A and B are shown apart, each in its own frame.
Chain A
Amino acid sequence: MKVLIAIKRVIDYNVKIRVKSDNSGVETANVKFSMNPFDEIAVEEAVRLKEAGKAEELVAVSMGVAQCQETIRTALAMGADRGILVQTDAELQPLAVAKLLKALVDKEQPQLVILGKQAIDDDSNQTGQMLAALLGWPQGTFASKVTLGDGKAEVVREIDGGLETVEIKLPAVVSTDLRLNEPRYASLPNIMKAKKKPIDTVTPADLGVDVAPRLVTLKVEEPAKRKAGVKVASVAELVDKLKNEAKVI
């Protein structure tokens, strides 16, 4: 079975995000980028499937600027077999990514597409669902457990207030949630070996996909600063403030 893993290059989770002074977006110059943490979980899951003998080939796909190669190399170091970079400097919105992924799925014919439930930069949480719709495939989103069976998969989903277990027919799209697994650190020898694994580069035009944005970003702003707290002298004062000032009790 072939598994396609979609991975996104995002600003590293440790970086303190700064909004550009003209409010057109966030500062990306001289900022560290790394793989979207949810996608790391997707790669880990795919590698575990391969290690368990349930998947044969793992293809890691990333889309965007040339540096996405580095993100793909990380996936290759973790255990993916080869990579595909859809290279473009254009802004890619979830629908465009889903269309590009569909084109690659048509070409590669994987039995499973696995990807993060959302990317930590724009938090859209749309790509997996849109891809499933475009392909007409079943989807198991927010997966916290994936068990592959014969021609099907059982996916435990994280939903509000609990867990839901669904059974979906393969081929399918699975999007990963935080508790699915804990991604490994790619070992140094595997990082060296990953340098020799193949990465194909294609463009959206090669895949016949129009990636023009459908949404326009008007303005990006910092969240409002939290106001400083106040110290209260007694429990009575606290209760009074909660009741009469904050009006929460």
Chain B
Amino acid sequence: MRVEGQDVGDLTTAVRRFVREVLVPAEPAVEENDAIPAAIVEQLRSFGLFGMTIPEAYGGLGLCMLAEARVAFEIGYAAPAFRSYFGTSNGVGTLGILLDGTDEQKRRYLPRIAKGAIMAAFCLTEPDAGSDAAAITTRARRDGDDYVISGTKRFVTNAPQAGLFTVFARTADKDAGIAGISTFLVDRERAGIEIGPLDRKMGFRGSQSADVRFDECRVPAATLLGGKEGVGFKTAMRCLDHARIHMAAISVGLCTRLIDEGVRHALGRKQFGRAIAQFQLIQAMLADSEAECFAARAMVEAAARAKDQGEPVTKQAACCKYFATEAAGRIADRVLQLHGGYGYLKDFPIERLYRDVRLLRLYEGTSQIQQLVIARELLAEKAR
């Protein structure tokens, strides 16, 4: 059972220590090599971060939304590439199995995902279907007891490492709209899967994404999520509230980090005979950042609490993702500004965090898409 108010003080203490003693010191190496060192991957696994959202019965932690958000506040403090590494295993891909998977599918995948033995990658976006995810054209054609999948998926995070691809594909005509979209759990070993060259990104070094091409990839009908056609897209949408609150919580963690970097520099750097932290214009930047971070945290906690109580939170979740990621962007900009020229040098973490933070407003629904969702829900409420 997911209950509100799990006591997770000991979890967050442990995660905080792990983040500050293991992950943060490893950031420069991750940036330099564009890869998370194998020893750290092993530590992420044994520490148990891959199974945060998976119930205890399947070897996960079974955290309620509020508890998960509090853990995510801590994780978000480190460079977001780390979270990316175990994030797809905790995110929409896995949540879909949890919500709508058959017992057989849950037993087959969840324990291994929770242990970090396999990574799950989420294959929704396509070259011509980004914000308009319902426009996907990847096809899954029924052929006897099998389906045959063909199409190209874009921006698939962890594609090179994934053992499982959660693939969204059309099982019915375009006219069927979203009811014609199904989800397949495709093992990497299947024939007809090709991973493209790694995306060359602005930031998030250490987290890899690539195109995944399915060329007449034949999978048994048992790989159909929930054993039913047409549930795929609805399942994905049902996971979104959760994913958005999670992403907002990660952003809050990153805001905290950015502010710490800013405060450290403002106290250490002297100009005009005093620490720049003593100048009120610098203080204003820090104050605005702290206030926004506090607001984002409070929003996430309120939305998470409401979700744990079974309330509909689509609007709140979109508000959280929108505000927290945009706030992180503003804070990163201010913190770079108060670093002066040093903020533009690779010697300071802010240069890298500034590039990392940019992605948060783009993926898992752009800020504009969040605005659309908020307005849609708001207007529907008022029309009632």
Chain A contact residues, majority secondary structure:
helix
What 1/0 flags go to B137-170 for Cβ under 8 Å of A? 0000000000000000000000000000000000
Supposing A73-B10, A77-B10 touch, asked if A188 and B47 sit within 8 A by C-beta, the answer is yes
Kindly provide the distance from the CB of B33 to the nearest chain A CB, expressed in whole angstroms.
23
| Contact yes or no, A186 B14, CB < 8 A | yes
Q: How many A-B residue pairs have CB under 8 A?
A: 41
Q: Could you tell me how many residues of chain A have their Cβ less than 8 Å away from some Cβ of chain B?
A: 15
What 1/0 flags go to B16-27 for Cβ under 8 Å of A? 011000100000
Supposing A188-B15, A192-B61 touch, asked if A74 and B51 sit within 8 A by C-beta, the answer is no
B180 close to chain A: CB less than 8 A: no
Residues of B41-63 contacting chain A, CB below 8 A:
43, 46-49, 51-52, 56, 59-62
B275 close to chain A: CB less than 8 A: no
A187 close to chain B: CB less than 8 A: yes
In whole angstroms, how far apart are the Cα atoms of A185 and B43 in the complex?
9
What 1/0 flags go to A51-69 for Cβ under 8 Å of B? 0000000000000000000
Supposing A192-B56, A192-B61 touch, asked if A185 and B10 sit within 8 A by C-beta, the answer is no
Residues of chain A within 8 A (CB-CB) of B51 are 188-189
A70 close to chain B: CB less than 8 A: yes
Chain B contact residues, majority secondary structure:
helix
| Contact yes or no, A188 B56, CB < 8 A | no
Residues of A96-153 contacting chain B, CB below 8 A:
none
| Contact yes or no, B49 A188, CB < 8 A | yes
Kindly provide the distance from the CB of B190 to the nearest chain A CB, expressed in whole angstroms.
30
What 1/0 flags go to A160-201 for Cβ under 8 Å of B? 000000000000000000000000011111111011000000
| Contact yes or no, A185 B47, CB < 8 A | yes
Kindly provide the distance from the CB of A7 to the nearest chain B CB, expressed in whole angstroms.
15
| Contact yes or no, A188 B14, CB < 8 A | yes
In whole angstroms, how far apart are the Cα atoms of A188 and B46 in the complex?
9
Residues of chain A within 8 A (CB-CB) of B59 are 189
Residues of chain A within 8 A (CB-CB) of B52 are 188
In whole angstroms, how far apart are the Cα atoms of A188 and B14 in the complex?
8
| Contact yes or no, A70 B10, CB < 8 A | yes
Residues of chain A within 8 A (CB-CB) of B284 are none
B372 close to chain A: CB less than 8 A: no
Residues of chain A within 8 A (CB-CB) of B49 are 188
| Contact yes or no, B14 A189, CB < 8 A | no
In whole angstroms, how far apart are the Cα atoms of A77 and B14 in the complex?
10
| Contact yes or no, B17 A185, CB < 8 A | yes
Supposing A192-B56, A192-B61 touch, asked if A187 and B10 sit within 8 A by C-beta, the answer is no
- Which of B7, B13, B43 is most buried by chain A, counting CB atoms within 10 A of its CB? B13
What 1/0 flags go to A72-107 for Cβ under 8 Å of B? 011001000000000000000000000000000000
Residues of chain A within 8 A (CB-CB) of B281 are none
Residues of chain B within 8 A (CB-CB) of A188 are 11, 14-15, 47-49, 51-52, 61
Residue of A nearest to B115 (CB): A189
Residues of chain B within 8 A (CB-CB) of A195 are 7, 10
- B interface, CB within 8 angstroms of A: 7, 10-11, 13-15, 17-18, 22, 43, 46-49, 51-52, 56, 59-62
- A interface, CB within 8 angstroms of B: 34, 70, 73-74, 77, 185-192, 194-195
